[in-house]
Amino acid sequence: MITQPDQAALLLDMRDIQKRFAGIPALAGASLQVLPGEVHALIGQNGAGKSTLIKVLTGYHRRDGGQVLFEQRPFEVGSPHEAQVSGISTIYQEINLVPLRSVTENICLGREKRRRGLLDWSAMHAEAERLLSRFSIRIDVRRPLGDFNTATQQMVAIARAIGFSARLVIMDEPTSSLDEREVSVLFSVVRQLKAEGVSVLFVSHKLDELYEVCDRVTIMRDGHTVRSAAMSDIGKLELVAAMLGRDVAVVDGHATAFGARDRSRIGDV
């Protein structure tokens, strides 16, 4: 069952998205609706179509069919940079920044400040510090980005997104390389973005995290959107069953999926 919010209230509305590679469908009628100022989970097994859907949205791939509206207007971009300038920023599992460049250069890349034709480093350092301070991050912005750990690099990527006035920030497996304390810091930042009216599309396979930080969820399977619901309206076993397309039950304390001829253990519940 797909629960769709009022179309007039949507920030992002992707409907019936089609994408084929060498004639083979990767997306076959996928849909995704995101509200302003919500944290929205996007989940599915490997190969479900999550990455392809994001790449269609952000200009890596051109869709073969369907409609995309962003802020109530038809939306189609030809590159991730164009998407970023238009208000959609993506933070990938592998941080897509330049480790040998300074924190300031990474945050201001593509929107450098100039004075009398020259780079205004004082203004850019101040801008980088201002953006990071919004998330209580205080570091030497003149140092190379690669000097800092993964969690700090993620904060830099988020600050860069906010510098482009992002209305939608896509986070792809953002906690995969973080420890428990760093995850807590990231979730605080996600909640702050939400409070400021910025939407977050949160891609993760860690289901407990989704229930902690996300408002709604969209579930994909085999290139289709199979379920969309409020997190409070769907239990973990129901969520896993929708991902797998099989019944799921608890056996000896573990979530176990049952197929027509076999059963497989998924994990602890």
Q: What is the pTM of this model?
A: 0.86
Q: What percent of the chain stands above pLDDT 70?
A: 88
Phi first, then psi: give them for residue 180, nearest 5 degrees.
-60, -40
Residues of the chain with pLDDT under 50: 250-253, 260-266, 268-269
Q: What is the pLDDT of residue 260?
A: 43
Report yes or no: 174 and 154 within 8 Å, Cβ to Cβ.
yes
Q: What is the pLDDT of residue 1?
A: 57
Q: What is the pLDDT of residue 264?
A: 43
> How confident is the model over 51-83, as pLDDT tens digits?
999 999 999 999 999 999 999 999 999 999 999
Q: What is the pLDDT of residue 110?
A: 85
Q: What is the pLDDT of residue 160?
A: 92
Q: What is the pLDDT of residue 96?
A: 82
In order of 5, 239, 243, 254, 268, the CA distances from 265 in angstroms are 34, 15, 14, 7, 9
In order of 27, 184, 227, 231, the CA distances from 191 in angstroms are 31, 11, 24, 16
Domains, in order of start, for the chain:
1-87+167-234 (3.40.50.300), 99-164 (no CATH), 237-269 (no CATH)
